[in-house]
Amino acid sequence: MPTYAPHALPEAVDTPQLDVAGELLALLRDADTEPRPDLQLEALTLAVAADLPVLLWGEPGIGKTAALTRLAEALDLPLTTVIASVHEPSDFSGLPIVGDDPAGNGVPMAPPDWAVRLVRAGRGLLFLDELSTAPPAVQAALLRLVLERRIGALQLPPGVRIVAAANPRASAADGWELSPPMANRFVHLQWVHDHDVVIRGLGGIWPRATMPRLDPARLPEAVAVARRAVCELLTARPTLVHRLPTNEAGRGGPWPSPRSWEMTLALVAFATAAGSSREVVSMLVRGTVGDGPGLELLAGLDRMDLPDPEDLLADPAGAELPERGDLRQAVLDGVVAAVRKHPDKARWDAAWALLVRALETGAPDLVVVPASTLAALRRQDWDVPASIERLAGVVSLSRRADDAAARVAVAAKVAARVGR
């Protein structure tokens, strides 16, 4: 009796493990974006829109490179990454190429391949990474690239934006302080991690970078605001036009110069046209001319937004006072100064009505000094308005508090002497 071999089943074909690993890596890299308020990302995008070189400072692993990658994707710009510290100076100034007749035609300086690709594309985001680990000779070669967008004989097109990243010297591998000429060419932004952003991003959703929406109708106003703010500050504070820091670390950061003030003017104009928040403007301004000059400029911008004291005196009942305490105090002091400059009974009464409105809509202590000063401006033939009664309690309470504080201070001094 014949015997038959059982039908052979096909062997299962195993998928190569590297292919499976590739699928898993693809899933891990798959992430989405969402519109989410992110002040430092907004500041970065605004500076990129203004076509100014930006330098991101942050500790290693903080997410600077990832942020630049997302920015390039969101703006649809091809990203070209150049590690500055692994290049020679000639890589940025151009490599000499000897032609057929060097005596007659000279020796041209050939640009690197990545620069040629940027020119061919006509647009892109050039990312200069690890800038603080580049030695001084390489930094010197980068000066022309950052400021003039030239590499050898090649001119980068206007559609190319430049962003760099650096670690603080203490946490950089063989780190160097930036040279003053290099530092003064950048808008310096401190890059820090946001706990909620990181957690949501690790879950697969990162903030979306979007170009600022500039209001075409506000462009002339934006330029006027920026020019007025910068020129008024430098007129009043001429020593801020150029102030090179005395210490090495300060020279490697933002500091005021005619170049950085020009950059600041552009940033203020862009921020005004985009309606950016004060926090974003603060990041950009302080990151361009430094904390001290930047804060002075911000104070000047705040004063420019304050209502005219004459308008407030004309309609105290409908006056809209700033919410911030320091700005409200400045407005009330300005109103009292306006009455002192041109005193009459109607203006004096209007100022009292305005102080009452300030009392009803804000902190009572802000009206104490203006009320005391305004009371001292009274002429003998001016009747006291009934509204003063509403302020009398606040002023007297403040005086009693001051008297109590003075008595406590005296008692403390006496006790100290007795203890000796």
Digit-coded pLDDT (tens) for 265-284: 999 999 999 999 999 999 99
CA-CA distance, 114 to 364, in Å (whole number)? 63
Digit-coded pLDDT (tens) for 190-223: 998 888 888 888 888 888 878 889 999 999 999 9
Burial of 190 (0-12, 13-18, 19+ CB in 10 A): middle
Residue that is written with structure tokens 């009464």 in the block = 349
Once rounded to an integer, what is the mean pLDDT over residues 330-343?
88
Parallel, antiparallel or unpaired: strands 54-57 and 187-190: parallel
Q: How many CA atoms lie within 13 A of 334 on its CB side?
A: 17
CA-CA distance, 397 to 173, in Å (whole number)? 60
And the tokens for 65? 């490179």
Quick one: three-class SS letters along 338-357? HHHHCCCHHHHHHHHHHHHH
From residue 3, give the alpha-carbon distance in Å to each of 6, 122, 251.
9, 76, 93
Confidence label for 410 from pLDDT (cuts 50, 70 and 90)? very low
Chain center to CA of 27: 35
The per-residue pLDDT for 207 is 84
Number of H helices, E strands in the chain: 19, 11
Digit-coded pLDDT (tens) for 7-40: 555 555 577 888 899 999 999 888 888 888 888 9
> Is 178 within 8 Å of 172 (Cβ atoms)?
no
Confidence label for 360 from pLDDT (cuts 50, 70 and 90)? confident
And the tokens for 264? 């600041």
pLDDT at 387 over 50: yes
pLDDT at 53 over 70: yes
Digit-coded pLDDT (tens) for 118-150: 999 999 999 998 888 888 888 888 888 898 888
Parallel, antiparallel or unpaired: strands 159-166 and 123-129: parallel
CA-CA distance, 303 to 281, in Å (whole number)? 15
Helix, strand, coil percentages in the chain from 3-state DSSP, rounded to 5: 60, 10, 30
Rounded to 10 degrees, what is the CA torsion of 231, 240, 287, 128? 100
Helix (H) or strand (E) holding 207: strand 205-207
From residue 126, give the alpha-carbon distance in Å to each of 27, 87, 115, 339.
28, 15, 9, 57
